[in-house]
Amino acid sequence: MPQAHIARLKCTETGHIQYWSTRNKKSCPDPLKLKKYNPRLKKHTLYKETKK
């Protein structure tokens, strides 16, 4: 049975939650950290996984 987990990604600069992503908790136990485009700032910023 897969250990897929839906994670919300929150911007570290504005706190805006814009993106959702999936990850496998078994193969990747650390929280996600991705650089994504922030439409409010009109630039790429770091997004981190948050709890629901």
Q: Record the pTM.
A: 0.82
Whether 36 and 12 have beta carbons less than 8 Å apart is answered as no
- How many helical (H) and strand (E) elements, i.e. helices and strands, does the chain have? 0, 4
Whether 36 and 14 have beta carbons less than 8 Å apart is answered as no
**Sheet of strand 33-38: strand arrangement:** 17-24, 4-11, 43-50, 33-38
CATH of the domain at 43: 2.20.28.120
Instruction: Say what the pLDDT of residue 19 is.
Output: 94
Whether 24 and 4 have beta carbons less than 8 Å apart is answered as yes
Instruction: Say what the pLDDT of residue 12 is.
Output: 95
pLDDT in tens, 1-47: 566 788 999 999 999 998 999 988 888 889 999 999 999 999 999 99
Split into its structural domains, the chain has a count of 1
Q: Which domain holds residue 26?
A: 4-50
In the structure, what pLDDT confidence band is assigned to residue 50 with cuts at 50, 70 and 90?
very high
pLDDT in tens, 16-26: 998 999 988 88
